Amino acid sequence: MTVPRLTSIHTVGTLVPVFGALADELLPGVERADVVDEALLGEAIAAGHIPPATAARLETHVRTALDDGADLVLVTCSSMGPVVDALAETHGWPLLRIDEALADRAIETSRRIGVIATLATTLEPTVDLIRRRADRVGPGADALEIRSVLCEGAFAALKAGRLDEHDALVRAGLEQLLPLVDVVVLAQASMARVAATLDPAMTGDRPILASPRLGMERVAERLGSPGERRDG
């Protein structure tokens, strides 16, 4: 029996063990490899969008992973999502963006969706993904009410090691967003620990969704399905 192989491409090196632990739990028997290129995200942040050279380098990482035998390539950076979608559509490659399952779960949960991010380069692609997934698998984008909050300065604080400042900014954003929606989408997994510290009286029965576990559950579904193919 052929052992399925997953290659994950990360733009934040510290997330490798996070996804590794989830893979240990959810993907027993799957052969795994990780690629880390933190410059991909850095270049997108600096430019305010994904530069063509950055997209081309991500494509090279994906092509190399497939040439090396990957049955599925997972990109764990939400900011890279638009490139992932374009590559999958253009080449028919077995590619998955980490936040696809996150968007689907939000749509299944409610029509009033909040999206919170610490980077504009992540916020806009996440909102766009939710709308497009609603058109494809849900009630249609027009049926959704999406509110978004950008926690200005939080990502810079995180990168500088000022965790208390990061957490305070994210907490303030969540406090602003929660009364307005029925479900909250965390565009960055790094915000999950802040969400876990909120007073239950504030969150009520509103789910706060993060991408890592949902994304890895989707990986398990994809690798368990026949017919995934690799194209050059």
Taking the C-alpha atoms of residue 216 and residue 106, their distance in angstroms, rounded to an integer, is 16
Taking the C-alpha atoms of residue 115 and residue 106, their distance in angstroms, rounded to an integer, is 10
Quickly name the fold that domain 100-210 has: Rossmann fold (3.40.50)
Task: Please provide the average confidence, as pLDDT, over all residues in the chain.
Answer: 92
Render pLDDT for 129-156 as a digit per residue (tens, 0 to 9): 999 999 998 899 999 999 999 999 999 9
- In this prediction, residue 1 carries a pLDDT of 61
Count of C-beta atoms within a 10 Å radius of residue 230: 17
- In this prediction, residue 230 carries a pLDDT of 42
Flag whether pLDDT at 232 surpasses 80. no
Render pLDDT for 152-202 as a digit per residue (tens, 0 to 9): 999 999 889 899 999 999 999 999 999 999 999 999 878 888 888 888 888
Q: Where in the chain is the domain with CATH 3.40.50.1860?
A: 5-98+213-223, 100-210
Residue 228 confidence class, pLDDT cut points 50, 70, 90: very low
DSSP state of 139: S
Share of the chain above pLDDT 70, in %: 96
Pairing state between β 112-117 and 183-186: parallel
Flag whether pLDDT at 227 surpasses 50. no
Flag whether pLDDT at 30 surpasses 50. yes
- In this prediction, residue 231 carries a pLDDT of 43
- Indicate the helix (H) or strand (E) that contains 113: strand 112-117
Domain 5-98+213-223 CATH class label: alpha beta
Render pLDDT for 44-73 as a digit per residue (tens, 0 to 9): 999 999 999 999 999 999 999 999 999 999
